[in-house]
Chain A
Amino acid sequence: MKPYNNRAWFLVLPVFLIVAFSAILPLMTVVNYSVQDTFGNNEFFWNGIGWFKELLDPKSELGGRFIDAMGRNFIFSFLILAIEIPLGIAVALAMPRQGIGVSISLVLLALPLLIPWNVVGTIWQVFGRADIGLMGWALTGMGIDYNYVSGVLAAWITIIMMDVWHWTSLVVLLCYAGLRAIPDAYYQAARIDGASRWAIFRAIQLPKMNRVLVIAVLLRFMDSFMIYTEPFVVTGGGPGNATTFISIDLVKIALGQFDLGKAAALSLVYNLIILTVCWVFYTIMTHFENAERRMQS
C-alpha cells in the first residue's frame, strides 16, 4: 500500500468549525456538567465522579432507572432489527424489476420516510385511539382489549408497529438497490445450474446485499437506539415507565428535574455506547470494502 496523502483533510476545516459549535462545545459543556452540581443561575459546585458513582450503581435511584431504560432500549432495537431487516429483504425481493410498477412502489415506499417524526407519532396516536382511531376502534370492535395508554403490551406493540411502518422502507430501498446491482449473468448461470429459489437467494442475492445490509443494520440500530420523538408523542414514556427509553428519561432528568449533573453523566455514557456500536459497525463495513477491493485486484 502506498502512504496516504492527507492534505485533503484541510478541505474539512469549514465543516470542522461548524461541528465545533454544534457538537464539540456542547460536548465539552456536558463533560463539565457531569462533574458538577448546580441549582441554576450558572452557579456550579464540584462533585467529582459522584454522578457516575450513582449512575453505575444499580441500587441507587438513578442507576436503577438507567439500567431499566437501557434494557428497554436494547430490547426495542433488537425487536426493530429482527422485524425490519427480514421484512425489508422480503419486500425488496417481491418488488417489480421493471415497468411502471417500479416507480409506483418506490414512491409509495418513500412516503413514510418523508414524514417528520412528531407527525408520525401523532398519526399513530390518533390511529390507535379507541374512540376516533381506525386501528384502535377496529381492534376494540373485535373485542380485543387494546389501549396503549394503560396496557404495557399494547403500548409496545404500537410503538414497534409505528417504527416498522416508518422505517422498513429504508431497509427495502437499500436492499432493492443492492439487488438491482446484481448482473443478469448471475441469474442466468443459476438457471442453467437449475438452482432453486432459496439457493439463488442464499448464494447470489444475500452475499450481494451484504454491504447494504450492514448499512441498513447500522442505520436502523442507531436510529432505534436513539429513539425519542415517536414514543414521546404516542406514550410519553408510559404506561408507568414501560416505554421510557434512555433519551426520554434523559430529558425528564435534565429538563423536568433540572438535574444537569445526573443528565450529563447519563448522556455521556449513552453517547459512549452509541459511539462504540457506531465504530464497530463502521470498522466491519470498511473491512468488507477492503476485502472486496483485495479480491478484485
Chain B
Amino acid sequence: MFSWLSAFDIAWMAWTLPVAIFFGSIAVALLILTYLAVRYPETPRRGILRISTTRGDRFFITLLGSAFINLFWIAFSVALGFTEIGLWGALGLSAVYGIAVFRYV
C-alpha cells in the first residue's frame, strides 16, 4: 500500500536524530502557537524593546537569539581552549533567555 513511498529516496537529506528532534520541536512549538492564536487571540504588546510583538514574534526572537547564544558558546569555549564542548549550558542559557523574551519583550 505504501510501496510508492519508496520512490521518494531521501538518503541525500542525511537525516540524523538530533536534527530531527530539533525541527520536530520547532514544528510542535508552531502547532502550539497556532492553537493558542486560534483559541486565545491576542493583541500585540510593547515591551522593553519598544516594538510591538505577538507570541510568534517573541518565539522568533527566542530562536534567533538562541542560535547566537549557541554559536557564541562554541566560539568562547574554543577561544578558552576547551576541546570537548557540551552544549547543555548553552541550551540552559537559551531557555533563560527565551523565558525573559516571552516575559519582557
Interface residues of A (CB under 8 A from B): 1-6, 25, 28-29, 31-33, 35-36, 38, 42, 44, 46, 49, 52-53, 56-57, 269, 272, 275-276, 279, 283, 286-287, 290
Contacts and interface: CB of A to CB of B under 8 A. Distances in A.
B68 A28 contact: no
B13 A3 contact: no
Contacts of B15: 32
Contacts of A36: 14, 16
Given A32-B13, A35-B16, A56-B78, A6 B71 contact: no
Contact of B14 (A6, A42, A49, A279): A42
27 contacts: A2-B43, A3-B41, A6-B37, A6-B41, A28-B19, A28-B23, A29-B12, A29-B13, A29-B14, A31-B19, A31-B23, A32-B13, A32-B14, A46-B16, A49-B85, A53-B85, A56-B74, A56-B75, A57-B78, A272-B64, A272-B67, A272-B68, A276-B68, A279-B60, A286-B51, A287-B50, A287-B51
A3 B43 CA distance: 5
A32 B64 contact: no
A53 B43 contact: no
Contacts of A4: 41, 43, 54
Contact of B19 (A3, A5, A35): A35
Interface residues of B, number: 31
B1 interface: no
A52 B90 CA distance: 14
B5 interface: no
Given A33-B14, A35-B16, A36-B14, A272 B85 contact: no
A155 B60 CA distance: 39
Contacts of B52: 290
A1 B11 CA distance: 49
Contacts of B4: none
B47 interface: no
Interface in B15-41: 15-16, 18-19, 22-23, 37-38, 41
A275 B41 contact: no
B99 to A, nearest CB: 20
A48 to B, nearest CB: 9
A272 B43 contact: no
A206 B31 CA distance: 44
A44 B41 CA distance: 45
Nearest to A4: B41
A260 to B, nearest CB: 9
